[in-house]
Structure 1
């Protein structure tokens, strides 16, 4: 299926301010970027680089005054996310090297503090995919998804004591529990078709059965229609923008996602 996504960010900049944006999806085996547009107003020189996780990052200095970033994409992606009950656990010594950073504790995913809880959650499950599914059920069963409930980023330990959380924080808890079982897990930020209310979305992927699989504690079923924009160890690695220096005001953020028919491509 093909879907289009747009994101508009409108800032009030008090003084010239350095930014790093992470707004461009990249093509890969799970998605293909057919068209894209990236507009800055006013236009300023921009340098793009790839971070250690393969994310496309745009570096610029925004001038004082009103400044906006508008992106739009048309991406071919799966209508349904793959599920693989029974996919086996991969022994650490057999893991690809690029998955190893996603085994370690990180700022918001304190996996070293979840060993006992994770073991109790997955008791009786086959090692691998089924353990990840049990973890998702635990997160969904103990924490209510509440969009807009938290502007401050919280860690997995904090989320585990909260009755409600946003998608980002629920992903942190799922990631920490997976890593506690030596299953590589990474955060993903991007777009999800039919998300209500519409916004950028966060979920996680776990490496089992020789590949990455999608898990989303906020959704009752494993829906597709996703565009991944950024991957990282946790929210600290996948911010859609990072500004340096004096605070700036984000005046507006509008996100839209729509399915395209073949005739529109």
Structure 2
């Protein structure tokens, strides 16, 4: 399936600053950017980096002087999903995990899995199959945490969310990651573009490493798992923010558009994914 993506960001620079931008879809065997274009305000320069940590493509933008900053990004993305039967999505013994996966077992800044170990064991130990545990984690979050804005901040952690029981996609994803790591299931935070997200925005969910592959999970139930485009993965939001500001730079507006370009009719509907995992490579 092909998608067309458009993102517009504006900032007000009050002095020379640097902006690290993370809005470009990640290139992989299952997701290919066929065309992309970036426009910046006059006088701005940038460098491209492929991060050695997680999966992300970043632009480091140099802003030499005060003024209004406008950034426009468009891309065409071809994306092929792999649907995996749940029976194959089993635990892998720690000693057999790839070295690159091991960090996703550990607590991180926003995902304090060490503080949630007893809670996770008490609530999800009855599930013997790893995929069932992940599904139960998502179900618990969806049922017990109210999806609502205005209650959390960029400093809100998974422990805060399970205590206060409200949050947005970022908080749902952090809690899902933390609970899965507490169950010794490698999990990582995922940012993406999501079809039919209302209002259009960047979205956060998470991935778990089961059966030798990364499988998408989303406790918000706001979007179809087979209709997202991956932007970045990491330990938590600290590694995957769509923009990181260094200097005196104020964010003023954002517009995100994400629509299908073509549909072959071969992609499974969301209802057909029950009992299966979705892998975007």
TM-score (norm. length: structure 2): 0.87
**Map of 1:1-265 to 2, 5 A cutoff?**
1-51=1-51, 52-62=53-63, 63-78=65-80, 82=83, 84-86=85-87, 87-147=89-149, 150-219=152-221, 222-246=224-248, 248-261=249-262
SS at match of 2:101: helix
Q: CA deviation at 1:91?
A: 0.8
Q: Is the 8 A contact 1:167 1:202 kept in 2?
A: yes
Deviation at 1:222, TM superposition (A): 4.7
Q: 1:120-161 CA distances to partner (integer Å, 9 max, x unpaired)?
A: 222321232111111111111111222565343310100001
- Counterparts of 1:83 and 1:144, CA distance in 2: 30
Q: 1:84 to 1:162 in 2, by over 3 A?
A: farther
1:220 to partner: Cα distance: 6.3
Question: So what's the TM-score if we normalise by structure 1?
Answer: 0.92
Listed as ranges, the gaps of 5+ residues in structure 1 are none
Aligned residues: 261
Distance across 1 between alignment mates of 2:147 and 2:42: 37
In 1: Cα distance, 2:134 partner to 2:215 partner? 10
Separation of aligned partners in 1, 2:222 and 2:238: 26
4+ residue runs of structure 1 moved beyond 6 angstroms? Answer: none
Aligned CA RMSD, in angstroms, stands at 1.9
SS at the partner of 1:243? strand
Question: 8 Å contact 1:147–1:167 — kept in the other structure?
Answer: no
Deviation at 1:211, TM superposition (A): 0.3
